[in-house]
Amino acid sequence: LGYMAQKFSLYGDLSVRQNLSFFAGVYGLDRRRARTRIEEMIAIFGLGPHLRTSAKLLPLGFKQRLALACAVMHEPEALFLDEPTSGVDPITRREFWNHINGLVEKGVTVLVTTHFMDEAEYCDRTALIYRGETIAQGSPDELKARATSEETPDPSLEDAFIALVAGSQGTHATAGHA
């Protein structure tokens, strides 16, 4: 299992290379495999220019790249990403999703939490959670179909979320009166 926290959770006083080396060790990679994976992560995530930079001094986009590189260092079968693109610019968001999609193509199961409905559109399956409860789940297209109405013939996933929240509130409001 790989995990990337929403807030930067690597070692700020360590350089980029030191963080990569540390996580290779944490995940139990032998010395040869660690060297290979570290070089792969540097190349894949474009970390080369920042190898000696203290992680706390990196721009947010590079902090996120480093965090993802550390999370996939050991080639996990499943990866949990908590708000992976929160606070990054649109270009970095797109690059990040390209990395995520590349992992999925290699067979990695990726679980993502996000408040960005346009990002949820990239997912095969989506669970909409409101106030700690799952109110709907399915593919983005299935969820949008459930929210189709005369007023909204072609809803976005955000429209679907709002409609499904409204529907769940109506269900909860009447449930006590049945």
Give yes or no for a contact between 74 and 27, defined as CB atoms under 8 angstroms apart: yes
- Compute CA distances 3 → 6, 151, 171, whole Å: 10, 41, 35
pLDDT of residue 87: 83
User: pLDDT grade, residue 168 (50/70/90)?
Assistant: confident
Rounded distance between C-alpha atoms, residue 155 and residue 128, angstroms: 15
Q: Which of 92, 97, 38 is nearest to 62 (CA)?
A: 92
Q: Alpha helices, DSSP H only, in 16-112?
A: 16-26, 31-44, 60-71, 90-105
Beta-sheet strands, E only, within 66-165: 78-82, 109-113, 126-130, 133-138
User: What mean pLDDT do residues 40-56 have?
Assistant: 97
Report whether pLDDT(122) > 80: yes
Rounded distance between C-alpha atoms, residue 18 and residue 38, angstroms: 10
User: pLDDT grade, residue 88 (50/70/90)?
Assistant: confident
The helix (H) or strand (E) run that includes residue 174 is: helix 157-175
User: What mean pLDDT do residues 69-92 have?
Assistant: 94
Report whether pLDDT(178) > 60: no
User: pLDDT grade, residue 8 (50/70/90)?
Assistant: confident
Give yes or no for a contact between 138 and 121, defined as CB atoms under 8 angstroms apart: no
pLDDT of residue 170: 61
Report whether pLDDT(45) > 90: yes
pTM of the full structure: 0.83
Q: Tell which wins on pLDDT, 7 or 45.
A: 45
